[in-house]
Every structure is written in structure tokens, then in C-alpha cells.
Structure 1
Amino acid sequence: MGYNFPESLIALEGTGNPRVMFVESPPSFSSPSVWNIPPLELDLSQACAMATEGDLVVLNDTRVKPCRIFTSDEVEILFVRQDTPNVWEVLFPLRGMALGSEFQLPGGRVATLVSKGLPQKIEIRGGSLSTDYFDQYGELALPPYIQRMRGERHCRALDRQRYQSDWSRVEGSVAAPTASLHFDRTHIDDWMKRGVEVAWTTLHVGLGTFLPIKAENLADHKMHKEWCRIPKKTLQLIAQTRSRGGRVFALGTTVARTLESWAQHLLKEEDEEWVGETDLFIRPGFEFRVVDVLMTNFHQPESTLLAMVCAFAGQERVLSSYQWAVERGFRLFSYGDLTIWEKCPVPLKS
């Protein structure tokens, strides 16, 4: 699942005015000619208008926590998840680090490396790492390629605003669900005025979303678990949308992963809210049971996110569409432009 692109297309700032690549589903995959149908370029208002009366748009209300802390020696530590009151799962460069190595954190805390691996684990002394602590000393964890290409290790002031969705409210992610960055509450109002239902999920983005695929065989890739929740109201709206023949739009791969993880449990739609952890790896051959239209950014080669898009719209179709977008200068990745995909009529094998 690779493709080529010039680094100049990697977006380093959000614009608030994305270009949109729309890829409709061909009616049949029996003829190779269907792959020659080019995508369409839309503006954001046209993209929003794709959801019509009777449809349902599902959003992720997670909020990115400022979970990147710099030690006194400027070692960057990404705090992924709290394991016990004093032990955290983290990511940081291990070069020359032995078990028992200590780091001075701001605020008088001391971190000790107690476990290597992916992720590592550190033990904290000198006080807890509360939400207030991260608000005071932490930074948002922008994708490393953005900071590398900027030539800056620290976030810019505008990133605190631009790297959060307009409806983020449940803190817990280490990275943003970036498709949401293109939209604000005026788009929600517009959908609802036109008879489009809007519903919520929560998935806290963690290692499962952003770690690259290293395995030669996709089936051998292990997804890390991420916490997610679907309220009862959202499940009821999904059932109602299905009963009236409407479509379910997932705004982002995190929403799609949450909905399809729930669907794997074969639960009745309206029973109760669904809360759990998911390690579902969606790859070519997966059969989507809930999502009809996927709205998402462009994704990096060899990523689990690109694998999901290929599963949804067909690998050949996705990669040819990406090449079309690269040739036309679309901006890529977290701060880049938007794509919209209609689901394949049949699941495609890898």
C-alpha cells in the first residue's frame, strides 16, 4: 500500500479551506474500465451537501491532551496511557538508555525507565501527573514529520487551536482525528437544518491509529487497543437511518473504526450504549456493516489508516485516486486536504 509523493505536498499548517477529492463507488467491479473513472474535486460546501435528508453524519468528540513533555535535557516523552497511578506507557528515543535510567521532568517530577518495548513504561516520583500538570507543562503531539519539516521541536501557538476539532470535549487522545479539523459547528447546523441527523462517538486516538505497519503480511500486524464509546442515542439513530434507507457518513477513520468495532459484537442497535477497547485492524477483505460514506484526510503509505481506506473503497481505486490527487497538488496528511469515499458494493480481497 505504497505510493509516491513530493514532500512539498505535506501540509505544515491548517488552512481552513480544504480542497476535497470525492471518489464515487462504481456500480460494478466486473470491468477494469471502472478504475479509469477519475475522482471529482469539490469544495467544502459541496462536500457537506452530499449528506441529504434522512442521512446520518457521525462525529468523534475526543479531545487531544497536551501529552508531550520535555525533560530537563530536552528529551521528548509522549505519554500515551496511564497504566497504574505512578506508571505510564510512553514513547521516547531509547538510544543509550538502560532500565533504571532517570529523567528530570518539569514540576519536580522524576521519571524512571522500568520497561522497554513498544510502548515503554516509566515510573513517576515526586507527585502525580494530573490533567492540570499536562495543561501547565505539556504540548500537543503533532506528527513528527510536521515538526521535522518545520525544523521545530516545539508546537506553535496556533497549533493548540488548529489541532483540535470544534466539538472536542472528551479529553484522552494523543493525536487529533484530523478529518474533523475541516469542519465547525456551522456545518453541523447546516446538516440539521436540511434534515441530516448528527450523532457522536468517542475514540481516544492512541498507538493503534498512528503506528506504521511493519509486518510484511498485513494479517501479522498487531493493533494496539484504543478506548471508544458509542452512546445509546447514536445507536438508535443508526437503526432509524437504516430503517428509512438513509446512509451513514463517518467523519474520520476513528469514527469508522468505532462503529465497525461495535458491529463485530452483533449487538442490537437500541439496547444500551457501547463502551470498550478496540484492537480491530480493518484491512482489504473486511466487510463494512455500518459505514456507507467515509470522509477522511490523505494518509501515509504503509499505515493502518490507508489500509482501512483500501478496504472501504478498493486498493486499486484508492491508490489510483491518490496518484490523481498528487498530480494535482492536493495537500497531504494531518493538516492536508479532505477525501470522501463511497463504499465498494462488495468487499474486496487484498
Structure 2
Amino acid sequence: MNVDLFDFELPEELIAQTPLAERTASRLLMLNKQSGAIEHGAFIDLSSKLHAGDVLVLNDTRVIPARLLGMKQDTGAKIELLLLKQLEDDRWEVLAKPAKRMKIGTVVDFGDNGSGEPLLRATVEEEGEMGARIVRFSYEGIFNELLDQLGEMPLPPYIKERLDEKERYQTVYSKHEGSAAAPTAGLHFTEAFLAELEAKGVELAYITLHVGLGTFRPMSSETVEEHEMHAEYYEISEETAKILQRARDEKRRIIAVGTTSARTLETIGQRFGDEPLQSCNGWTSIFIYPGYTFQLVSGLLTNFHLPKSTLVMLVSALAGREHIMQAYEEAIGKKYRFFSFGDAMFIY
């Protein structure tokens, strides 16, 4: 299957640069995955599409201030590191820029402790592809506190505006630190709107998937089948496993909030098959594209994605490529806002 099947023209002015003042103020395109019927409304209209007994699955990962700006110890050249994945102890997988200056053994310093010594130091131990490096950090004190002091929020490259309020790139239910990017479909929710859905009888369940390198990597192959996804860490609690198992047994709808939740649900669906779902953790590199048979997900709330991206392929697997391309064409025509701070789509 050719990647170009998932291409479309997107005017640059439709890429949302800043979040709306109110989280729930975005627009909502509602797509019936069977018929392809499209409705347009406001995000709060999601309430009318959810029913008592539906399970809404949210990713409670929290973005860390993962972008570090430092200097090479030997030359003073500026280096940017984006933390992607903690491996063990103080070893991390990072994206380095400019990567060509980051050979094995290179040392990069961050901050100043007031005595001319860095607050944080990174030494390159391994080189990977497309700017990836394995570095070991050395420091005194608590790593996360140093990150809060030195790091910046790692906004996607298509967002040029500065984000003044860091919490607007976190969901209101974010809990477990570890992501290099936000699960952006969840940014639309407020605590009040979630409480309103619960009062209606919608059941909330939380999973964790730490968003990593795959979010920043474009498709590098010409065919869909050749693409390899980067592994990301996930966790499912015992409470969530029981909620999902009851919903599956009773044939109630399981609605994923965001593609990260969808990928996690489908990972455990494949992991346990027809056996009872259990609490678990691990790494997933699941790649969902048309032809895939969904195990658990029956509906999806998501934002609008990049042309030719793995995320457009995932939503096309759920609703059909033709329905998705038609919906995107209509969204562009009606000037919906795209990507991380943009509007939402509900596939049901």
C-alpha cells in the first residue's frame, strides 16, 4: 500500500499555533465509520454521542520538560537534546541537533551551578539513526528537579509560537511523567466536562503510554508495510483491566481518547486475545493501518493529523480511507484547526 494514498493538501494557516483560551471551546467533526456521514459541532457535543455504559479510555501520561539546550564542552557549540526514553539509571535515548556534532564520547554541559561547573552533563555512548543518540547524564541532586529548572516543553516542530502556560500542553488528568509529547486528543477535556460525562453514566478508565520517538519521525518508506514503529512504554492497571473486561463481556463500547490510547488498547487486545484482560506493562511498536481488525476499540476521539502520517493510517483503519479523506477534505474546507492545539474528530 503506497504512502501517497494518505496524502492531502493542508494550508499552513490551518495549523493551530496556540491553544484556545477554553479547553472545551474547540470544534468537533463527528464521523460515522459505517456510513461515512459527517456532522459538525462543538466539542461539548461529544456528550450527545456518548451513552451510559460507554467506557472512555484516557492516557494519563505527563509530558516532561524534555528539550535541553547546552554547549559542547570542547568547542562551546550549541547543542539541543530532546529526551525520548529513559533506558536505565541515567542513560537516555535522545534526539540530538545538530546530530553530526554528537559523536561517541562527546560531552555536553547544561546550566551553571554558580561555580563554573554545569548543573547537568551528558556524554554520548551510542549513535543511532536519524539523530538518535544514547547519552549518560551526570549531576548532583534530583534529575527531575534539574529538568524542571533547565528543560523546556518539547512542542512539535510545526508550532512556532511560544507556549506561555506550560500546563496547556498537559491534560488535566496527566499523572505519570515520561512523555516527549502530549496525548493531544485529551487536551480538550476539563475536569468539569469529565464529571458531566461520568454523571451521565460514561465510565472513565486510565491507561499510560509514554509518547516517544515515533511522534517525531516522518514516514521514511514508500510503502506502508515497510515502515517500522518505534517502541513506546505502556502500563495498564488492574482496575482498568477489570473495567475493560466487563465492557468487553457486556459488549459495551470502548472509546479511545487519542491514538496513544487506541494503540495501547489494541496492544493488550492482541496480548491477551480471548483470555481475560489483566494488569500489565511493556513496550509496544504496534502499527495500525487499513486492513487491521480492531480487538477492543469501537470508537475514537482524536485530533486532525499530518498528511502521510502513521496516525492518518490508524484512523483510516478504523473508519475507512475513503471516509477519512472525505472528512479531512470537508474539515479543510470548513477551516478546522489542525494538529496538537487544533480541533477534534469523533469516529463512532
Deviating runs (4+, > 4 A) in structure 1? 126-129, 267-271
Match of residue 136, structure 2, among 109, 123, 130: 123
After TM superposition, give the deviation of residue 263 of structure 1 in Å. Answer: 0.6
Q: Is residue 81 from structure 1 mapped to residue 54 from structure 2 by the alignment?
A: no
Alignment match, 1:139: 152
Amino acid at match of 1:115: E
What secondary structure, in the 3-state scheme, does the structure 1 residue paired with 2:93 have?
Answer: strand
Percent sequence identity over aligned pairs: 36
Alignment match, 1:111: 122
Deviations 1:5-59 (A, max 9, x none): 11000000111211101111235xxxxxxx6x4x211112211221111111111
Alignment match, 2:43: 44
What secondary structure, in the 3-state scheme, does the structure 2 residue paired with 1:92 have?
Answer: strand
Match of residue 166, structure 1, among 150, 168, 172: 172
After TM superposition, give the deviation of residue 135 of structure 1 in Å. Answer: 1.1
Alignment of 1:304-319 (within 5 A): 304-319=310-325
TM-score using structure 1 length: 0.88
Contact 1:241 1:247 in 2 (8 A): yes
Distance 1:129 1:218 in 2: 42
Alignment match, 2:164: 157
What secondary structure, in the 3-state scheme, does the structure 1 residue paired with 2:292 have?
Answer: coil
Amino acid at match of 2:214: G
Contact 2:56 2:257 in 1 (8 A): yes
Q: 1:270 to 1:188 in 2, by over 3 A?
A: farther
Distance 1:85 1:47 in 2: 42
Contact 1:11 1:335 in 2 (8 A): yes
Alignment match, 1:60: 59
Amino acid at match of 2:189: F
Match of residue 211, structure 1, among 208, 217, 222: 217
Distance 1:229 1:84 in 2: 17
What secondary structure, in the 3-state scheme, does the structure 2 residue paired with 1:265 have?
Answer: helix
Distance 2:324 2:347 in 1: 9
What secondary structure, in the 3-state scheme, does the structure 2 residue paired with 1:330 have?
Answer: coil
After TM superposition, give the deviation of residue 98 of structure 1 in Å. Answer: 3.4
Q: 1:245 to 1:88 in 2, by over 3 A?
A: closer
Worse-superposed segment, 321-330 or 231-240: 231-240
- Tell me how many residue pairs correspond in the alignment: 326
Q: 1:126 to 1:193 in 2, by over 3 A?
A: closer
Contact 1:54 1:244 in 2 (8 A): no
Alignment match, 1:340: 346
Distance 2:159 2:234 in 1: 27
Distance 2:102 2:249 in 1: 57
Worse-superposed segment, 180-189 or 325-334: 180-189
Distance 1:85 1:276 in 2: 18
Alignment match, 1:347: none
Q: 1:309 to 1:128 in 2, by over 3 A?
A: farther
Alignment of 1:197-276 (within 5 A): 197-267=203-273, 270=276, 272-276=278-282
Q: Is residue 192 from structure 1 mapped to residue 180 from structure 2 by the alignment?
A: no
TM-score using structure 2 length: 0.88
- Structure 1 residue runs of 5 or longer lacking an equivalent are 28-34, 343-350
Alignment match, 2:107: 102
Contact 1:251 1:294 in 2 (8 A): yes
What secondary structure, in the 3-state scheme, does the structure 2 residue paired with 1:80 have?
Answer: strand
Q: 1:133 to 1:96 in 2, by over 3 A?
A: closer
Structure with greater strand percent:
2
What secondary structure, in the 3-state scheme, does the structure 2 residue paired with 1:13 have?
Answer: coil
What secondary structure, in the 3-state scheme, does the structure 2 residue paired with 1:256 have?
Answer: helix
After TM superposition, give the deviation of residue 202 of structure 1 in Å. Answer: 0.6
Worse-superposed segment, 310-319 or 86-95: 86-95
After TM superposition, give the deviation of residue 279 of structure 1 in Å. Answer: 0.8
